[in-house]
Amino acid sequence: MDTLYIDIKRQLEPFKDKVFYHGLTETEVINIEQKIGKTFPIYFREFLKVFGVRQDFVFGLLTREIDFIERTNYLPEEIKKSFILIGDNGGEDFWLLNTVNQSDTNLYEWQHWLYGEVVKLGYDFETLLKENISKLSDTEANSATNDKKSWCVQFSIPTDSEEKVYSTIPLTLIQDWELKEISSAQVHCYETKAKLADKVVKFKRQEYVGWSLPRYYFNLKEPVNEFGKQSLIKDLDGKLQKAFPKYKLIDYGILPLTDDDE
């Protein structure tokens, strides 16, 4: 492990109850790289393997794997040849790292308001980390503790075979479907309850005359203190990806929710 990251872990120790991070495996890092067609700089690969994507102490960095794929698509091809997108300034100006020169650890920004020009921000990746660490005493004072945080997702399944959903994942209806709403756009919204493993979830269906398939969906959350252990979310995601070509996992990331939140 890089000595910088050893030092950062030491500095995070006093905030361990309020700061969340979980490193990626080498396979998970490679999977992101393959999907974006680029290799991360060595120092950023190491950061991901130590602290992961779903960390909440360096603000501005991407916090979901899918963001690396979806946001990279916004970059012009010429910029993607030399840079990789790792975050943003809270708006439409994306943070970039140099992938051509491994010794260049400066942070760059693709600024829309400058006609898409790439500019050097005047500090490097290490400085970004240290600045965020220095602010922890103030920002973490009112933050939720890790035992109040959850990884929150929605499973969205367009299909005309409801039975295939039940045969793919352990989801069993425990009451009849009920029409809850017809929107102004004439989307018919139905709801029921279903048992999923040892949980009861709200299972919903939307139908619209202009859609080729009805859409089934349900929400699920897992406590962050169970992250990295056997994950029901990851298990269901893998099975649904294989069974339904148009299925999508909507990843809300790590949120400060309690057991009573929907």
8 with 86, same domain: the answer is: yes
Q: Of 120, 139, 158, which one is at a domain's C-terminal end?
A: 139
The answer to whether 85 touches 72, Cβ cutoff 8 Å, is yes
Is pTM, for the whole model, over 0.75? yes
Cα 245 from Cα 258, distance rounded (Å): 33
Contact 156, 250 (CB under 8 A): yes
Residue 93 gets the label, from left (phi > 0), alpha (psi -120 to 50) or beta, of beta
The answer to whether residue 262 scores a pLDDT higher than 60 is no
Number of structural domains the chain divides into: 2
For residues 152 and 233, is the Cβ–Cβ distance under 8 A? no
**Which of 139, 168, 189 delimits the end of a domain?**
139
Instruction: Look at residues 192, 197, 193 and name the one whose alpha carbon lies nearest to residue 235.
Output: 197
What pLDDT does 164 receive? 97
pLDDT tens digits for 184-210? 999 999 999 999 988 999 999 999 999
On whether both 216 and 163 belong to a single domain, the answer is yes
94-98: strand order across its sheet: 83-88, 94-98, 106-111, 117-124
Task: Show the tokens assigned to 170.
Answer: 């352990």
pLDDT band at 258 (very low <50, low <70, confident <90, very high): low
- Residue 83's pLDDT is 95
Query: Binning pLDDT at 50, 70 and 90, where does residue 90 land?
Result: confident
- Name the residue range of residue 170's domain: 146-255
User: Domain with 215 in it: what CATH number?
Assistant: 3.30.310
Task: Looking at the structure, tell me whether residues 133 and 164 fall in a common domain.
Answer: no
Q: Are residues 8 and 134 in the same domain?
A: yes
| Residue where the block lists tokens 């994306």 | 94
Residue 262 lies in a domain: no
Q: Are residues 108 and 155 in the same domain?
A: no
In a domain, 33, yes or no: yes
pLDDT in tens, 133-165: 998 887 666 678 898 999 999 999 999 999 999
pLDDT at site 144: 85
- CA-based nearest residue to 57, from 24, 91, 106, 8: 8
* 155: Cβ contacts below 8 Å, ≥ 6 apart: 217, 218, 219, 220, 236, 237, 240, 247, 249, 250
**Phi and psi based region of residue 169 (left: phi greater than 0; alpha: psi -120 to 50; beta: remaining):** beta
In a domain, 23, yes or no: yes
| Lowest model confidence (mean pLDDT) among 7-11, 26-30, 145-149, 257-261 | 257-261
Q: Are residues 133 and 216 in the same domain?
A: no
If asked whether residues 94 and 10 sit together in one domain, one would say yes
Same domain, 39 and 63: yes
- Of 104, 139, 174, which residue is a domain's last? 139
